[in-house]
Amino acid sequence: MLQWEAPAFESPFELWREDGVLHLVLAKGGRMRVAHMKEILRLIAALDRGGRVPVMVDYAAGVVVEDDARKLLTRVCRRQGHPLAVYSTDRECRNQLEMFRQVHKPAFPFRAFERREEAFRWARERRQLSALKSERQ
């Protein structure tokens, strides 16, 4: 897996595709606004026309997702089926992600992880499961 480097364009995120997984890195202390969320969603759609590629999010400490951006993400994700693996070393962040999972009960596969390797493994497993389902149909 590639080593992450700070974004070149002062955006609070960076997104790329590697090994069949979309990698989304949220910059430490970044503030995610609606405009950023729209751009992330556009980029994900451009990188995955089928809408099923797993997304692994590296959620750094101190990231703030504004309420309007979170609402937009929740609304859009209800229509899409991207499995979502979120990695964060911050315990409070993982607790908030678990609360999100319990309250919103996402229709897509969703898990929070403490270690990047576990999140990446889970995302690749979702990709493999999706490929097996496609072969059977």
10: pLDDT strictly greater than 80: no
Q: Cβ neighbours of residue 13 under 8 Å, at least 6 residues apart? A: 7, 24, 25, 26, 27, 30, 32, 36, 40
Angle at Cα 71 formed by Cα 83 and Cα 113, nearest 5°? 35
Q: Max Cα separation, the chain?
A: 44
Measured CA to CA, the distance from residue 69 to residue 54 in angstroms comes to 20
pLDDT at 44: 92
Nearest to 37 by CA among 17, 57, 8, 61: 57
Domains along the sequence of the chain with CATH: 13-136 (3.30.750.24)
CA dist 4 and 120 (Å) reads 14
- Distance between CA 51 and CA 84 in Å, rounded? 12
Q: What is the mean pLDDT of residues 36-51?
A: 90
Q: Express each pLDDT in 88-133 by its tens digit.
A: 999 999 998 898 888 878 878 899 999 999 999 999 999 888 777 7
Q: How many residues make up the chain in this entry?
A: 137
Helices 34-47 + 67-79 axis angle, to 10: 30
* pLDDT (tens digit per residue) in 17-31: 998 999 999 999 899
